[in-house]
Amino acid sequence: MTTADIEPEGRHGALPPWLLRLGRLLLSLVFTLFGLLLVTFVIGRVVPIDPVLASVGDRASASAYHAVYLKLGLDKPVWEQFLIYVNQVLHGNLGESVLTSRPVLDDIRDVFPATLELSTVAILLGTLVGIPAGVWAAVRQGRLSDQIVRILGLVGYSAPIFWLGLLGLLLFYAKLGWVSGPGRIDIAYEFDVTRVTGLMLVDCALEGQWPAFWNAVSHIMLPASLLGYYSMAYISRMTRSFMLQELGQEYIITARVKGVSEARIVWVHALRNAAVPLVTVVALSYGGLLQGAVLTETVFAWPGLGMYLTNSLGSADMNAVLGATLVIGAAFVTLNLLSDVLYTFLDPRVRRRG
Amino acid sequence: MSALLEVEDLRVTFPTRSGPSEVVRGVSFTLGRERLGIVGESGSGKSQTGRAILGLTPPPGRATAARLAFDGIDLRNASPGQWRSLRGIRMSMVMQDPKFSLNPVMTIGRQLMEAAKRTAADRAEAKDRAMAMLEAVQIRDPARVFKAFPHELSGGMGQRAMIAMMLITEPDLLIADEPTSALDVTVQIEVLRILDRLVTDRGMGLIFISHDLRLVSSFCDRVLVMYAGRVVEEVKASALAQARHPYTQGLYGCLPRIEGSVRPLPTLQRDADWAL
């Protein structure tokens, strides 16, 4: 009876359930990415921008126009064009940027690490502050500290970030001089650091260039804090509501009956359960940041994806726009996959279902 | 013998939009090392009585009493530290449905150890006790259940694990709040038998809360019948048939009988006066 009461293990034979689950997730990733390609391709066709005109200019002769028209394969049927597009993307060819006359992929390789670095520092700050703040607010529900967290969150969520950015620059850079100004690093250091990963902090640390490292830190601190503040606002609100939900569950009463300490009830019992939906919240916030915070990057002259994308849009550089969109989409889908994988580790019920 | 638990004029109140609502209205009883049953319909205040004894009235509810003492300790103004030294060690509670009362993301073992560590000298001893306790609730493969997550166990197994968790520190008082209502009928009797044996062997006081009159009368020494937040009658379990209060008589009359069927089925008559 004892053994019959426990669900049988490994119903799928030799493969462990988590491996099957991972395989299924990867398969869905492939399909999603394919869908993404289709969407970017369609967007590229329906926008009222003539790709030939964009590359030859409006004073080109009819024969030059026609030559480029054929070169871009626009005379072929649409489905064939799509296959060519997919084939190119799979070979890492996102076309050439009209604006920079370089392959789009090279451009993105230059700008994406800047955004990645900024978003990663920001989401770390937002999570490390937001989760404890949300837990605290939930435990002290309705009291003054809850209200303070609520107001701070509301300000972070509703104040325009370019305004906060300018204020921050004025106060911490111009007046107090606590942080460095716009850009990723001072020009004095700019050519000392060889590019390995494109992440300034990592590259400096890899070479042991500590003065440059600290300079980069003081550059990233302000924009990352601002973006982090924004995600903190969201993460703390969600943490609070997930925690309130968990703290009302029966197993919390069980823990109280057992005489488990209040701190352990909150930080181990309840938070461990709230962590499951929180993973999605953090992953989605991170994905949002990875799209390139256009306003923040502009205010802080941060040479990231958001700035690249706006510049390309301004000059109707469709290859660059579509390429960047594809990268953003892929990053988003990958993050979702990662959060799904994390789910598997956090929730034993998901692990078992396979 | 001094009483293990003394309850006098216990009241539990919840604020509502239309003013405070009293769900337990002056319950009094004393409990020795015996088995006391509390029966009543849904909303009669039996569960809130049990929670108030453990100081677990959910906020914003409030529990007050003229006297609420456990082994001579006044519980009304007990500090959080005092509560912590009582709960889990000297008094505990088995709840209704292991699906909700066990933490879904912690293994049974970890949850069991949390309780075991409170009285054990070290980890090894706690683990030994946990294993022994799982065997005591007749789990035949304790090592496996120890590593299992709650959703991997059936209801009966989960409830045994819950009982093990609550009895591992050998408390003096156990409150069992509908401990078998969420289980299949076939498993109910088994779980009850296990609970009964452990309680009797250890000489504990038991408050058995249920809506099942027959179960309570076969399992307890004494029965309190609650209606609308009050105790309407206290009877010896063996003398239930001689109950005087019409509500108890009604409850008793509604029990299905094996010999012959009664048609139409008896229904419960309620009198507005009982709630006064």
**CA-CA distance, A249 to A270, in Å (whole number)?**
9
CB-CB under 8 Å, B149 with A348: yes
Average predicted confidence (pLDDT) for chain A: 85
Q: Which fold has domain B5-90+173-275?
A: Rossmann fold (3.40.50)
Name the DSSP class of A103.
B
Q: Which residues of A touch B (CB under 8 A)?
A: 1-3, 5-7, 249-251, 253-262, 269, 272-273, 276, 346-349, 352
| pLDDT tens string A233-286 | 999 999 999 999 999 999 999 999 998 888 999 999 999 999 999 999 999 999
pLDDT tens digits along B148-204: 999 999 888 899 899 999 989 889 999 999 888 888 888 888 888 888 888 888 888
- List B residues 166-185 in contact with A (Cβ-Cβ < 8 A): 166
Is B234 near chain A, with CB under 8 Å? Answer: no
| Beta strands across the sheet bearing B230-236 | B91-94, B173-177, B205-210, B35-39, B222-227, B230-236
CA A254 to centroid of chain Cα atoms = 39
B187 touches chain A (CB under 8 A): no
pLDDT (tens digit, 9 = 90+) per residue, A102-136?
899 999 998 999 999 999 999 999 999 999 999 99
- pLDDT of amino acid A7: 47
Residue A3: per-residue pLDDT: 43
Q: How far apart are CA B37 and CA B31, in angstroms?
A: 11
User: Using CB atoms within 10 A of its CB, is residue A177 exposed (0-12), middle (13-18) or buried (19+)?
Assistant: exposed
Burial class (CB in 10 A: 0-12, 13-18, 19+), B17: exposed
Summarised one tens digit per residue, pLDDT across range B58-78 is 888 889 999 899 988 888 888
Beta carbons within 10 angstroms of residue B197's beta carbon: 13
Contact between chains at B85 and A7 (C-beta distance less than 8 A): no
User: Are A262 and B148 within 8 A, CB to CB?
Assistant: no
Is this prediction's pTM over 0.90? no
Q: Alpha-carbon distance A144 to A137, whole Å?
A: 9
List the beta strands (DSSP E) in chain B: 5-16, 19-31, 35-39, 62-64, 67-70, 73-74, 91-94, 173-177, 205-210, 222-227, 230-236
Beta-carbon count within 10 A of A49 CB: 13
Return the pLDDT at A286. Answer: 92
The domain spans of chain B are 5-90+173-275, 100-168
**Architecture of the structural domain at A108-353:** Orthogonal Bundle (1.10)
Model ipTM value: 0.87
How many residue contacts between A and B have a Cβ separation below 8 Å? 98
